[in-house]
Amino acid sequence: MWKRLVLPLLLLLSAGPVLAQETTPEAPAGLPQRVVLGGLVVYLPEGWSAIPGQGGETVIANIDLYTLDPNTAFPPETVLLQVSVYSTAQLPPSPDGITSSRQILESIPAEGEQPPVTEIEEGSVTIARIEGGNSQSGGDSVAYALLLDEQTFVFGIGASLNTGTLATYEPELYRVLAALEVDLSVPLAADTLTRYNDIPQSRSAEGFPRLGNPDAPVVITEISSFACGACRTFHDLALPVLLEYIRSGEVLFIYQPFVGTGNLPNNERATRAALCAAEQDAFWQFSDGLFAWHDFGGVAFLDARLTAGAAALSLDMTAFAECLASDRTNAIIEAAVMGANRIADFVGTPTVLLNGSSIEWDPAGLTALIEAALTAEATPEATAAP
């Protein structure tokens, strides 16, 4: 089983540059390097490095990744640890990381009996050590799991890729895991709380959030994912253009929430949180936050951040939590997926429709298309059939 889990560790080494490391007096004993990867803070021993992965993972290595030639073999006794951080809402309910670890193992197709799980105490943290097998290179492979707090779960896969023994390095790995920190702040743009003032908010028959005059002559629909980088670009560059037309009553903007694209974990949960915010007329402010939190990488949509974001918007937290725990957003999400799949040229997010027809967009081009649609609406005789 664990052989299949080592290959992604190798691929992640080419996922991006090594981030700058800094020494800080606040670092835990024996872990002098403080490395910030988006919203995750990692403390490392001397000579170890960390890089961001492709889906929010962090790869920790006891080799100098700055000088490693990707075309050469790994040095002897190389150890890598791929660390992913999740919201506990993505996992079966359990009181601790040990139980969650066993539940994860039960969901993975096993080759024979499930491996045993050992509890390791490291400071105030309990780490589940899950026995593995041989890696593809003949070394050891072990999985680790722990809870950072009530809402933040860590799952890591450690691999000794050459002739080294992983157990030799495990004391250091335990210290690294126990010292992980997550930045759970909820930064919002300066105008988030005011930019939608005095603009009508409503929902379509399917439950999709709408912004603007429901009777506007031009309807712009964006099929979008909160986990999609290009969707963030649309939000940051195109939405300010749209807001001018929305405020004038000429454009109605509809957000169709598609959860099947993007590479940030917990996207569906983030979408449900935004739809719950919509019940308190705060969908657009909450969506501003979700796109801004892309900067936190793989920990952008942890449950704790979603909850803190709702509180920052002064939502009724009891109502928000009740909505998030219910299934009433299911129908909206399902309708968004089915609606997107009915579009012949739908290939991903963002897909932008103007009065039902797909368009290519950029800020300047979007303005021209809206102006043309408004002109055609104002002079219907010009487009009437002879």
Quote the DSSP letter at residue 124.
T
Q: Report pLDDT for 137.
A: 47
C-alpha 76, offset from chain centre? 35
Count the Cβ atoms, other than its own, within 10 Å of residue 32.
16
Judge if 218 and 138 occupy the same domain: no
> What percentage of residues in the chain have a pLDDT greater than 90?
57
CA angle 71, 76, 79 (to 5 degrees): 90
Judge if 99 and 145 occupy the same domain: yes
Confidence of residue 104 (pLDDT cuts 50, 70, 90): low
Q: Read off the CATH number of the domain in which 20 is found.
A: 3.40.1000.10
Judge if 55 and 139 occupy the same domain: yes
- Residue ending a domain, choose from 149, 182, 215: 182
Q: State the residue range of the domain holding 222.
A: 201-378
> pTM of the prediction?
0.85
Q: Report pLDDT for 325.
A: 94
Judge if 205 and 172 occupy the same domain: no
Judge if 167 and 243 occupy the same domain: no
Judge if 26 and 163 occupy the same domain: yes
List phi, psi (to 5°) of 373: -65, -40
Burial of 90 (0-12, 13-18, 19+ CB in 10 A): middle
Looking at the structure of the chain, the number of domains it has is 2
pLDDT tens digit sequence for 310-326:
999 999 999 999 999 99
Judge if 95 and 141 occupy the same domain: yes
Confidence of residue 50 (pLDDT cuts 50, 70, 90): very high
Quote the DSSP letter at residue 258.
-
pLDDT tens digit sequence for 364-373:
899 999 999 9
> 222: which strand partners?
255, 352
Judge if 145 and 207 occupy the same domain: no
Judge if 143 and 245 occupy the same domain: no
pLDDT tens digit sequence for 295-305:
999 899 999 99
C-alpha 342, offset from chain centre? 26
Judge if 154 and 101 occupy the same domain: yes
Q: Exposed e or buried b for every residue in 322-359, given b needs 16+ CB within 10 A? A: ebbeeeebeebbebbeebbeeeeeeeebbbbbbeeebe
Q: Read off the CATH number of the domain in which 322 is found.
A: 3.40.30.10
Residue 196 in this model has a pLDDT that exceeds 90: yes
Mean pLDDT of 27-54: 91
- Residue ending a domain, choose from 126, 148, 182: 182
- Residue ending a domain, choose from 182, 209, 224: 182
What is the rounded radius of gyration, in angstroms, for the C-alpha atoms of the chain?
24
Judge if 150 and 211 occupy the same domain: no
Under 8 Å between Cβ of 214 and 337: no
Q: Exposed e or buried b for every residue in 291-302, given b needs 16+ CB within 10 A? A: bbbbebbbbbbb
Residue 140 lies in a domain: yes
Biggest distance spanned by C-alpha atoms of the chain: 84
Residue 191 lies in a domain: no
Amino acid making up residue 62: N
Neighbour order of strands in the sheet with 251-257: 201-203, 209-211, 251-257, 218-224, 351-354, 357-359
Count the Cβ atoms, other than its own, within 10 Å of residue 237.
13
Count the Cβ atoms, other than its own, within 10 Å of residue 120.
17
Residue 217 in tokens: 């002559």
